Amino acid sequence: MEFMDYDKTLEILKENIIPWNRIEKVAITNALNRYIATDIIAKENYPKFKTSAMDGYAIKFDENNKKFKILGSNPAGKFEISSLKENECIKTFTGSLMPENSDTLVPVENVKVDDGFIEILKPVKKGFAIRKIGESYKKGEVLIKKGTKLSYSEIALLAELGEFHISVFIKPKVCVLSSGSEIKDLGEMIENDAQIRSSNHIAIASMLKLMGCEPIILPLVKDEENEVKNEILNSLNFCDILITTGGVSMGDFDFVKEVLSKNCQILINGAAIKPGRHIKIAKAGDKYIFALPGFPFSAMVMCILYVRILIESFFNAPKNHYINAVLDEEYIKKSPFLEFSACNLNNDENGVLKVNLKGKKDGSSAIVNNLNNEAALLVIPKELNGYKKGDVVKVLKML
């Protein structure tokens, strides 16, 4: 079987992505980690007027004058005194509007108050502690771009803008189906030594949540062709994306690939990569099917390499997850394919980003714990035989 180059498979996948225009309104209090579906643009300058950045006395700056008459005060939320003259001051509080003609705030700790006057004991520069008009943003400025994943700071900004219900992309419903007669689900008893507990469906569902999807974990299916076929076709009735694990290799009981080839449009039939070269990607109408390998490490890596591409495209949020770092040890390539090997990323004492494979076990693609501790993936091009210590290498960040 001839496997297609990874870059070519990505090109095919991207060419077949239908724009995701499904949008809903949610309250900003429920918008954490959602992807915003419209640009948020400032309707006015903020602050709209000059405001005080701390507690003190508003003055018109005069480096030769150290004594000012107190006219009164402007508490935050009120504007009782709107202007002042030379040699006058107004007590002003954090967040209060600055009176007309004032241009400097002298902190309370810098003055002595005596009989209705202040004496400046510690001078400040002109313009000190003044929030200028438009300091935070100016009218017409794009503050949050479409496709931004909303974190606490963006939600705080939306609140400041007075937004409440905002438009976000609807979470795609993604069914997760793991197959294999040897696997047992959570809570099921292991009946003999040939059986194992399934982790794929739990891992993939967790990854999908981090990507912003709504995962639906389906019951495990055994390696029986009709059972596999029925579960795949039924799930396509109520999901947007189907992810299967297992049943895509060359074994006598690998029925997932048979079902897909007979009932769907196959877009990608294998890729020249390690792990996961037997991956299948298909479409059924506007539904996407990712048939991932059965080994957990392979399945999780394939989810990063392919599923994340689709999801980020849906949310108008494509990102470059590759970074460069210095390899801290020798690496010998294990296959003739493009390889993705679990690795660690750390800054050394000089702040240089380093890559190493400490604690990463050398073996099959079934080692789940190789991706523990915020692991990343060392990328080894197919034309190389490996790397030497000190080489600058490309690393793919996970979730």
pLDDT digits (tens, 9 = 90+) for 111-168: 999 999 999 999 999 999 999 999 999 999 999 999 999 999 999 999 999 999 999 9
Q: Which fold has domain 322-396?
A: Beta-clip (2.40.340)
* pLDDT exceeds cutoff 70 at 252: no
Q: What is the pLDDT of residue 139?
A: 98
Cα 96–chain centre separation = 37
Encode pLDDT of 322-339 as tens digits.
999 999 999 999 999 999
Q: Which fold has domain 24-42+144-169?
A: Molybdopterin biosynthesis moea protein, domain 2 (3.90.105)
* CATH number for the segment(s) 6-22+171-315: 3.40.980.10
CATH topology agreement for domains 24-42+144-169 and 322-396: no
Rounded to an integer, the average pLDDT of 174-203 is 93
- The angle at the Cα of 333, spanning 330 to 339, to the nearest 5 degrees, equals 115
Nearest to 177 by CA among 290, 271, 332, 29: 290
Nearest to 308 by CA among 390, 219, 396: 396
Nearest to 6 by CA among 337, 343, 378: 337
Nearest to 173 by CA among 257, 268, 237, 247: 237
| Annotated domain spans of the chain | 6-22+171-315, 24-42+144-169, 51-131, 322-396
The top-level CATH class assigned to 51-131 is: mainly beta
Beta strands in 93-248 (DSSP E): 104-107, 111-114, 117-120, 130-131, 142-144, 165-169, 173-178, 183-184, 196-197, 214-217, 241-245
